[in-house]
Structure 1
Amino acid sequence: MGLFDQLKSILAKSPSPQAPSAPADAISASLGQPPERRVRDRQNARPGTSALIVDDSPTIVAALRKMLNSAGYVTLEALTAEEGIEIARDLTPDIIFLDIVLPGMNGFAALRTLRRDPLTKDIPVIMISGNEQATEQFFGTRIGADDFMKKPFSRLEVFARIERLLDADMVPRRLAAATAQVEATSVSNA
């Protein structure tokens, strides 16, 4: 049976006793897909949250820009680590997406520089790499990365990584800083 015949037979089947509640659900059900892909509502950062994207690939920069802008983020962009560090110092974004492999200074050296600078040390950083090596993720975490994403990444993954870093005010915060703040509060309350 050809592909067209298979599709025709799927679409010709009678509806199940549990009819889908929406037209999109009906189409998904007829194609054998789950009715709703999002199980729960995503927690977004507050509108106007700024994100610095540091990557030498215009394609990655454009993809992240489109995803983030559609959710109300203000994006800043840099094609080199040096330019990214300068933007981070001058504009102090709320979160940074930092590629590991960059021309000139690499992402690890840039992360070390950001963590040593009082102006940028508390900005959460999500490292990005196309390399499959887990050692990069381990090393990035050891020197202060807050999270790690492998290329290619999905919209779902980008926002899940950001959501992990949101505080009660819906502002991205460093995990280490948030943990230290919780520990300090619990010690003072004891």
Structure 2
Amino acid sequence: MTINKILVVDDSPTERYSMQEVLTRNGYQVVTAESGEDAIAKSKSERPDLILMDVVMPGMNGYQATRTIARDATTCSIPIIMCTSKSQETDKIWGMRQGALDYLTKPVDHQALLERIRAIG
């Protein structure tokens, strides 16, 4: 599977911009969403190759959005990496149980993120 288009989901404009800059500079096409609901809609309309999902967001959180995307027949094949400030082992286990493929804590090490993306692709 080749990763070309990445959906970055985060309610923080600064985080979205930072991730978008790094990914674009490394040749990826980036689409952004600022909520769990927006992430679900864009996962269907944009058909990204990968989703980078924040957890703590107003409204639907990243765990709920990940679970919805992972269980929907039209989006279940899209890998999700959670990128969040929630760093407890129980948070990571819960994220993986919701359908995440990987889990990174903030501040995200951009080099580690790029390596994980290459490993998936």
Per the TM superposition, whether the score is higher than 0.5 is yes
- In 2, the alpha carbon distance for the partners of 1:117 and 1:124 equals 13
User: Deviation at 1:131?
Assistant: 2.1
- In 2, the alpha carbon distance for the partners of 1:109 and 1:131 equals 15
User: Deviation at 1:141?
Assistant: 1.0
- Cα deviation 1:117-148 (Å, max 9, x = unaligned): 11110000001111221111111112210000
* Contact 1:54 1:77 (8 Å CA) reproduced: yes
- Structure 1 residue 58 and structure 2 residue 18: aligned? no
- Is the partner of 1:123 in helix, strand or coil? coil
> What is the identity, as a one-letter code, of the residue corresponding to 1:117?
D
Instruction: Report what 1:134 is aligned to.
Output: 89
Which of 23, 26, 42 aligns to 1:68? It is 23
Instruction: Report what 2:65 is aligned to.
Output: 110
Instruction: Report what 2:119 is aligned to.
Output: 164
Q: Unaligned 5+ residue runs, structure 1?
A: 1-44, 167-190
* Contact 2:83 2:108 (8 Å CA) reproduced: no
* Contact 2:51 2:79 (8 Å CA) reproduced: yes
Q: Unaligned 5+ residue runs, structure 2?
A: none
- Is the partner of 2:17 in helix, strand or coil? helix
User: Deviation at 1:153?
Assistant: 1.3
Instruction: Report what 2:76 is aligned to.
Output: 121
Instruction: Report what 2:100 is aligned to.
Output: 145
User: Deviation at 1:163?
Assistant: 2.0
Which of 71, 81, 86 aligns to 2:41? It is 86
- Is the partner of 2:77 in helix, strand or coil? coil
Give RMSD over aligned pairs: 1.1
TM-score, normalized by length of structure 1?
Answer: 0.61
Question: How many pairs does the alignment contain?
Answer: 120
* Structure with bigger RCO (C-alpha 8 Å, 6+ apart): 2
User: Deviation at 1:115?
Assistant: 1.2
- Cα deviation 1:28-63 (Å, max 9, x = unaligned): xxxxxxxxxxxxxxxxx56xx000001001111011
* Contact 1:69 1:75 (8 Å CA) reproduced: yes
- Structure 1 residue 97 and structure 2 residue 97: aligned? no
- Is the partner of 2:107 in helix, strand or coil? coil
Instruction: Report what 1:6 is aligned to.
Output: none
